[in-house]
Amino acid sequence: MGVGIEVTNLNAWYGTNHTLQDINLNIPANHATALIGPSGCGKSTFVRCLNRMHETNPIARVTGTVRIGDLDIYNDCKPVEIRRRVGMVFQRPNPFPTMSIYDNVAAGLKLNGYSNHHVLDEIVERSLKNSALWDEVKDDLKKKSGASLSGGQQQRLCIARALAVDPEVLLMDEPASALDPVSTSKIEDLIFQLKSQYTIVIVTHNMQQAARVAEKTGFFLNGRMVEFDSTHKIFTNPSDKRTEDYITGRFG
Amino acid sequence: MTEIRISQTQVLSEAGNPPGQGPANGAQPEASAIRTFLLSRGNSAGADRVFQWLMVLCALTIFGIVALIAMQLVYGSQLSWHKFGFSFFAWPAGFTFASIFKAVLDPNAAQPNYWDPVNGHFSALPFIYGTLVSSFLALLMAVPLAIGVAVFLTEMCPGALRAPLAFITELLAAIPSVIYGLWAVFVLVPLMREQVNPFLNKTLGWTGFFSDDNPTGLGFFSAGVILAIMILPIISSLTREVMLAVPHSQREAVLALGATRWEMIRVGVLRNARIGIVGAIILGLGRALGETMAVTMVIGNSIEIHRSLLSNGNTMASVIANQFSEASDNMHLSALVELGLALFVVTIVVNALAQLLVWAVTRGAPARAS
Amino acid sequence: MGVDRVRDEHKLKARLRSVIDGAATGLAILATVLVVAPLVAIFVYLVYKGASSLNLDFFTKVPKPVGESGGGMANAIVGSALLLGVGSLLGIPVGIGGGIYLAEFGRGTKLANAVRFTADVLNGVPSIVMGIAIYALIVVPQGHFSAFSGGVALGIMMIPTVTRTTEEMLLMVPNAVREAALALGVPNWRSVLSITVKTASPGIITGCMLAFARVAGETAPLIFTALGNTFWSVNLNREIAALPLQIYVYALSPYDDWHRLAWAGALVLIILIVLAVSLVRYVTSRGVLKGAS
C-alpha cells in the first residue's frame, strides 16, 4: 500500500542554478497527484528529489526534508534503500537493452540478489498484468528483448519493472510525452487503475492528462510551487493569477 | 480490465498475511514478502565504496606504470650517467667537433669509435643522428601524402569508397612492425639496391647526400621509407579526425562567398584544423622516433655517421634491440638503458605535445583562424 | 571598354581559380593512389607469400636445427599464446577497471583527465623502452629470462588501449539505462557491472581483442624478456619462443626455408589482426546497443 509524502523547505541546485526554491507540500497516500508547469519550471527536478535521483548528478545539491511514510529519506537512510521503496518511470522508455522482457521486469529483484524462481515467475506475471502488458508479451517473455517492443509497450514494461519491487510510491516523469495517443491513453488508464494501490506522483506538461488522472494538482513556475490544490479547483477556480494564466494558455 | 481488478484484489487481500507464507506454498507471492526481502538487503554502501576504490586503483595503475618505467630507467642508467654525464650525448672523449665533422663529410676519413664496449667509451651521437635523420626523412615523405589522403577522404571521396579506405588505413596501422620489416627486407631493400639508390646517386649524387657506395640497399634512406609507410596511416587518420571536427558551418561560410572547393578546403578546413594537423604530424614523429623492429631490420646497424643518406646507420631503438640481450658488461648495459631513458623522455614530451594539440581541435572549439 | 576589361579579368581569374581547384583535387587523388596502391600491394604480397608458405607442419612441428629443411613454429604459436595469456590476465582486468573509472566515476574530474592523458601518452612510449623496464624489474632480480616477464611486458602495453576503448564504449551507453537501474534501488557496483558494462560488452570485448591483436605482433619488448627459444617449452619461468620473435630471427637468417616460415608466421599474425579490426568496425558501426534509445 502507498504512503504519504511530506515535503518541507525543499531546495535544489544544479551547479549554481537554484532550480527548486522552498517547496512545501503534502502528497496524500493512494492517490494520484499531478505536477504541471511550463518546461524548466523544476517539476522534474522535484520528483527526482523524492527518490534521491537528483543527486546522481555530481553538480546537484539538495537541502530540506522529505518524509515518505515515516522515513526521513535524506537523513534516515541511503539512496539505495529509498529507491527500492519508490518506483520511477522516466520520460523516455528505458528498458535494459540486453535483457529479455522477463529479465527486465525481474531486474529490480534479481539485481538486488533475489533468486527464488517460482516467486520471480509469479511476480513477473503479476507485474505485467498490472501494467496491462501481459496478454501482448506472455508468449515470448524470455525470447524477446525489452528493446524489441514498441514505444508504448516499452513504457508499460518500465512500469511493470517499477511495480515488480512492490513500491509504496510511484513517480512518473512525463511518462506519456514520448508516446502516440493510443499508447498515451493506455498509460492513463493504467494510472487510474494503479492509484488505489500506490501513491502516484505524475509530472506532465499536458493539462488534460492531469485533469483526467489526478485528484490533486500542483502548479510549478520558475522553481517555486505556486499553487497546490484539488485538481478540480486548480482547473476551474485557481486562487493564483499565474495559475489561471497558465491554465488558460496565456503564457508558457 | 476485469482480470486486472481481480488480481489486484487478491494482492490486497493477502497483504495482511504474515510474510513468507506465499512463496512457501508456491501460490501467489506475498507483496510484503518482497518488501521485507528488499528491506533486508542493506544499503551496500560498503560494497559500493570498495568497488569504486578498486576502479580508481586500476586507473591509477597507469600513473604507476609510467613512474615505474621512469624509475627503472633512471636507476639502470646511473652508472653511465655518472661516468659520462652530458658528454654521453656529445662526441666521444678525445675527439674535437672538427674531427667529427671531417669524418661525417669525407667518406674516406676514419670514423671515430663512438661506441666502444671493449674500452668502455660510449657516445649516443650516431644513434641520435640516425634517429633524427630517419624520422625526418619519414616525415618529409609521409606528411604531404598523408594530408592529401585526409583531404581526399573527408572532402572529395565518394561515400562508397570512404568506408573501405578508412578500413584499410586502420588495418595498416595495426600491422606489427616486424611484418613491415619482413616485407622491407625481401621487397623494399632489393628495390632500393637495384633501382632507387643508383637512380638517386645519378641524379642527386652531386649533393653528397646520395652517394651510393653501399652495396646492401640498407641504410637511412630505406629506413626512412619504411618508417614513412608505417606512420602514414596514423598521420592521415588523425588528420582526418581533426578535419571532421571542423564545424560544417565553417565550410558553408566559405562556399557561400563563391569559393571553389579547394579554396573552401584551404580556408575553411585546413586553416581551422591546422593546429590539430600539426599535432597529428608530431604524433607521427613520436611513432617514428621509437619505432624499433622494422628500422633495425633495414638500417644496416653500423655505428657511424656519414653525410650520405644511402649509407648504413643505427638508431637509438635499433641499437638497444641489437645489443641489449648480448651486453654483458655493466657499463655497456647502463649506456643502453640511458639511450632508452632518452628515448622515453623524448617520446613522452613529443606525445604529450601532440596530444594537447589534437585535443585543442577535437575537444574544444576549433582553433582560431587568425 | 573599361567594363569589358574588368569582366575579362574576372573571367581569367575565375578560370585560374578553377584550374587551381582541379589541380588540388588531382593532387589529393594522386596522393591517395600513391598511398593506397602500395599499401594494398604490401598487404596482398604478405597474404600471397604467407599463404604459399603455410602448411600443416607450421602448426604442428617445432623448428629444425640449422641446415635441415622442414619444421614449423608450433612452439612459437604456443609460446605466443602463453605470453598473451599472461598479458591478458594482467592487462584486460586492469584496463577495463580503468575504463570504468573514467566513464562511470571520474567524468569531468581532473584526475580522470590526467589518467586519460597519461594513457594516451603511454600508448606512444616505444615498446622497446617497456622491454628495458621489465628487464630491470623482473629479469634482473630473477636472474634469468622468462615467459612470465614477457607476458607482463605485453600486459602493461595492453592497459592504455583497453582503458580508452572501454571508456569510449561505456560512454555510448545512454544515461537513461544507468538511471533505470539506480531508480530500482540497485547498488551502484551492481548497476555498473550488470547493466552498464553488460550493455557495452560487445564493444568492450572487441576493444580487448584489438589490444590483444596489437600486442600479439609486438617483438621489441620480448627480445630481452621472453628471449625466444627453438625448443618446446610451456614453462612460464623459462625463456620461451614467440611468433614475432621467430619471424624477426628467421627473416634475417640466410636460409630460404626459414624465410618461408617467417612469411607463414606473418600471415597468421595478419589474420588475427584483420579479424580484430573487422570486428571492431562491425561493432562500432552497428552501435553497442540494439534498438535502445
- For chain A, which residues make up each domain, given as ranges? 5-96+168-247
Per-residue model confidence as pLDDT tens digits over B281-315: 999 999 999 999 999 999 988 888 888 888 899 99
Please report the pLDDT score of residue B12 as a whole number.
Answer: 35
Say if B65 falls within a structural domain. no
Please report the pLDDT score of residue B244 as a whole number.
Answer: 87
Residues B346 and B296 in one domain: yes
| Whether C167 contacts C97, CB under 8 Å | no
**How far from A224 is each of A57, A244, B28, B309, C263, CA to CA, in Å?**
21, 16, 44, 77, 74
Please report the pLDDT score of residue C1 as a whole number.
Answer: 54
pLDDT of A24 strictly over 70: yes
Please report the pLDDT score of residue B366 as a whole number.
Answer: 34
A132 touches chain B (CB under 8 A): yes
Average pLDDT over residues C217-234: 88
- Whether B229 sits inside 8 A of C127 (CB atoms) is no
Helix, strand, coil abundance in chain C, percent, nearest 5: 75, 0, 20
pLDDT of B24 strictly over 70: no
ipTM > 0.90 (yes/no): no
Label residue B217 left, alpha or beta by phi (over 0 means left) and psi (-120 to 50 means alpha): left
pLDDT interval class at B32 (50, 70, 90): low
Q: What is the CATH number of the domain that holds C203?
A: 1.10.3720.10
Per-residue model confidence as pLDDT tens digits over A29-62: 999 999 999 888 899 999 999 999 998 888 899 9
Neighbours, chain A (3 or more CB pairs < 8 A): B, C
Q: What is the CATH number of the domain that holds B348?
A: 1.10.3720.10
What the block records as the C-alpha cell of B170 is: 586502420
B4 touches chain C (CB under 8 A): no
Residues C66 and C185 in one domain: yes
Say if C16 falls within a structural domain. yes
Residues B83 and B34 in one domain: no
Residues B154 and B97 in one domain: yes
Residues C26 and C130 in one domain: no
End residue of a domain, out of C11, C33, C53: C53
Calpha distance B125→B345 (Å, rounded)? 17
Q: Chain B 211-250, CB below 8 Å of chain C: which residues? A: 229, 232-233, 236
Per-residue model confidence as pLDDT tens digits over A63-87: 999 999 888 999 888 888 899 889 9
pLDDT of C157 strictly over 80: yes
Please report the pLDDT score of residue B19 as a whole number.
Answer: 38
- Whether A126 sits inside 8 A of B28 (CB atoms) is yes
Residues B81 and B27 in one domain: no
Global confidence as pTM: 0.86
Residues C199 and C101 in one domain: yes
Q: Which residues of chain B lie closer than 8 angstroms to A84, CB-CB?
A: 38-39, 41
Say if C291 falls within a structural domain. no
Q: Which residues of chain A lie closer than 8 angstroms to B22, CB-CB?
A: 119
pLDDT of B30 strictly over 60: no
Query: Nearest chain A Cα to B40, which residue?
Result: A81
Average pLDDT over residues B224-237: 92
- Residue in A118, A130, A193 nearest the CB of B26: A118
Per-residue model confidence as pLDDT tens digits over B125-146: 999 999 999 999 999 999 999 9
Domain span at residue C11 reads 2-53
Residues B9 and B124 in one domain: no
- Whether A112 sits inside 8 A of B38 (CB atoms) is yes
Domains contained in chain C, number: 2
Neighbours, chain B (3 or more CB pairs < 8 A): A, C
First vs last C-alpha separation in chain A: 36
User: Given this structure, which CATH class describes domain A5-96+168-247?
Assistant: alpha beta
A242 touches chain C (CB under 8 A): no
Residues C237 and C282 in one domain: yes
Please report the pLDDT score of residue B144 as a whole number.
Answer: 93
**Rounded to 5°, angle at Cα C247 from C246 and C252:** 100
pLDDT interval class at C18 (50, 70, 90): confident
Residues B8 and B108 in one domain: no
- Residue in C21, C105, C125 nearest the CB of B52: C105
Helix axes A117-130, B2-14, angle to 10 degrees: 130
Query: C273 to chain B, minimum CA–CA distance in Å?
Result: 7
Per-residue model confidence as pLDDT tens digits over B166-214: 888 888 888 899 999 999 999 999 999 998 888 888 888 888 788 877 8
Residues B21 and B95 in one domain: no
Residues C46 and C91 in one domain: no
Residues B11 and B130 in one domain: no
Mutant choice from C184, C189, C293 vs A, greatest count of A C-beta within 10 A: C184
B62 touches chain C (CB under 8 A): yes
- Residue in A77, A122, A197 nearest the CB of B29: A122
Residues C38 and C181 in one domain: no
Residues C43 and C91 in one domain: no
Domain span at residue B15 reads 2-39
Average pLDDT over residues C216-239: 88
Average pLDDT over residues C116-140: 93
Residues B28 and B88 in one domain: no
Average pLDDT over residues C270-282: 85
Q: Is the dihedral of CA B6, B7, B8, B13 positive or negative?
A: positive
pLDDT of C80 strictly over 60: yes
Residues C47 and C82 in one domain: no
Q: Which residues of chain B lie closer than 8 angstroms to C114, CB-CB?
A: 63
Residues B150 and B23 in one domain: no
Say if C293 falls within a structural domain. no
Domains contained in chain B, number: 2
Residues B167 and B29 in one domain: no
pLDDT interval class at B370 (50, 70, 90): very low
pLDDT interval class at B9 (50, 70, 90): very low
Residues C64 and C88 in one domain: yes
Residues C41 and C76 in one domain: no
pLDDT interval class at C233 (50, 70, 90): confident
Please report the pLDDT score of residue C206 as a whole number.
Answer: 84
Residues C48 and C65 in one domain: no
pLDDT interval class at C57 (50, 70, 90): confident
pLDDT interval class at C287 (50, 70, 90): low
pLDDT of B27 strictly over 70: no
Please report the pLDDT score of residue C282 as a whole number.
Answer: 81
Residues C39 and C10 in one domain: yes
Per-residue model confidence as pLDDT tens digits over C81-98: 999 999 999 999 999 999
The secondary structure of residue C156, as a DSSP letter, is H
Average pLDDT over residues C45-70: 84
- Whether C290 sits inside 8 A of A145 (CB atoms) is yes
Residues B151 and B9 in one domain: no
Query: A64 to chain B, minimum CA–CA distance in Å?
Result: 22
Label residue B85 left, alpha or beta by phi (over 0 means left) and psi (-120 to 50 means alpha): left
Say if C37 falls within a structural domain. yes
